[in-house]
Amino acid sequence: MSKIQYKKTDPRIATLVEDLRVKSRDNGALIWKDIAGRLERSKKSYATVNLSHINRNVAENETILVPGKVLGAGTVNYPIVVGAFNFSDGARAKITDAGGECLTIEELLAKNPAGSNMRIIR
């Protein structure tokens, strides 16, 4: 009996997963391989993180990666760099108002191909 493989129908996810795997191999950055594996799963299993959770668990000027969506519940009291698959409008506004930066995973991958000095928050 053969195992059926399902492919992502969203072309953004498919190309992102492939790019993450290539960067992981080229740079020896296991963080990108981990994120690619998480994005290959069902969208129901993607992380959804509120700003209140980020504010409690992240230090000032730290770079974090959310393999899913950042939601706007809560506040951010200091500048941080957040890379995520998607942001709500409220979350994006609150992060930038605090002096932080919102990046897509693609932008964060281009900015930091080695994946150094960053944490995964879920």
Q: Is residue 46 part of a domain?
A: yes
Residue 8: is its pLDDT beyond 90? no
What mean pLDDT comes out for the span 51-69? 96
* CATH code where residue 92 lies: 3.100.10.10
Q: Is residue 5 part of a domain?
A: no
Q: Is residue 109 part of a domain?
A: yes
Bridge partners (DSSP) listed for residue 47: 68
Q: Is residue 2 part of a domain?
A: no
Domain count, the chain: 1
Q: Is residue 71 part of a domain?
A: yes
Q: At what angle do helices 30-40 and 11-27 cross, to 10 degrees?
A: 160
Q: Is residue 30 part of a domain?
A: yes
Residue 6: is its pLDDT beyond 70? no
Q: Is residue 48 part of a domain?
A: yes
Listed in sequence order, the residues at least 6 apart from 38 whose beta carbon sits closer than 8 Å to its beta carbon are 45, 46, 47, 67
CB atoms within 10 A of CB 109: 22
Binned at pLDDT 50, 70 and 90, residue 93 comes out as very high
**Global pTM?**
0.89
Residue 61: is its pLDDT beyond 90? yes
Residue type, 64: I
Residue 5: is its pLDDT beyond 70? no
Which structural domain, as residue segments, surrounds residue 15?
A: 11-120
Q: Is residue 42 part of a domain?
A: yes
Residue 4: is its pLDDT beyond 70? no
Binned at pLDDT 50, 70 and 90, residue 21 comes out as very high
